[in-house]
Copies of this chain bind each other. A is one copy, B any other.
Amino acid sequence: MNEITPIAPASGDKEATMPRKDPTQRRSRERVERILTCASTLIADNGSDAMRMSDVAQMAEISIGSLYQYFPDKGSIIRTLAERYNVLGRECIADALQNVSDMNGLQSSFAELIDIYYAMFLAEPVMRDIWSGTQADKALRDIDLADSRMNGTVLAAARARIDPVADRDELENSSFLIMQLGEATMHLAISVDRAEGDALVENFKRMFLREMLG
């Protein structure tokens, strides 16, 4: 698996080389953040394809060489941003579903989650660019699948609580599918005009709710 997180700033325990202490690490962290912020800005402006590594370096006021010290390649910057959004999304989903224990709760929580996700996609150009179709990078696709699996597991757990006799594998499989289809719906919805997108999201909600009723 390709790195998601950038190279750790030399907190090496190997070889016991009397590692440097705080200032360096702080500076490194700040640099990583600045790189990510600049990359975000550039992606928001013109998309990740148009984002050139030289632009990122220039905007972050570092040399290309330094940039590559923190991120081994262009994809790793994009993946790091993607994973950050995913973490936010997972927290959101976990929060919403953690304490669900009946069908009504599940339905309302999920409907709400879909709205939140849709709003996020509409509001965040970077997220939109990274996920909307652009999955040329296999490593990015893997991140996406892993994310859906985690979210699917959370959903499956909630459904199992509601219906303890349901087959677990079946729940896991269909919950994973629902997560992926939800994502596909988002991608689709943001690539058509707003009115149609809204209708598609509503339709997906309906399909999901029907599916939940088993």
A residues near B, CB below 8 A?
49, 133-136, 138, 141, 145, 173-174, 176-177, 180-181, 184-185, 188, 191-192, 196, 199-200, 203-204, 207, 210-211
How many copies are assembled?
2
Given the interface contacts A141-B191, A207-B211, does A49 sit within 8 Å of B136 by beta carbon?
A: yes
Choice from B138, B180, B210 contacting A184 with Cβ under 8 Å: B180
Q: How far is the CA of A117 from the CA of B145 in the complex (A)?
A: 22
SS of A interface (majority) = helix
Closest 5 CB pairs of A and B: A184-B184, A136-B136, A133-B135, A174-B203, A133-B141
Please measure, in the bound complex, the distance between the C-alpha atom of A177 and the C-alpha atom of B199, giving whole angstroms. Answer: 10
Q: Residue of B at shortest CB range from A202?
A: B173
Contact A199–B185 (Cβ < 8 Å): no
**B residues near A136, Cβ cutoff 8 Å:** 49, 133-136
| Complex Cα spacing A136 to B48, Å | 10
**Complex alpha-carbon distance, A192 and B172, angstroms:** 14
Known contacts A135-B134, A136-B49, A141-B191, A204 near B177 by CB under 8 Å: yes
Residue contacts A-B, CB under 8 angstroms, 12 given = A133-B136, A133-B141, A134-B136, A135-B136, A176-B200, A177-B188, A177-B200, A177-B204, A181-B184, A181-B204, A184-B184, A210-B210
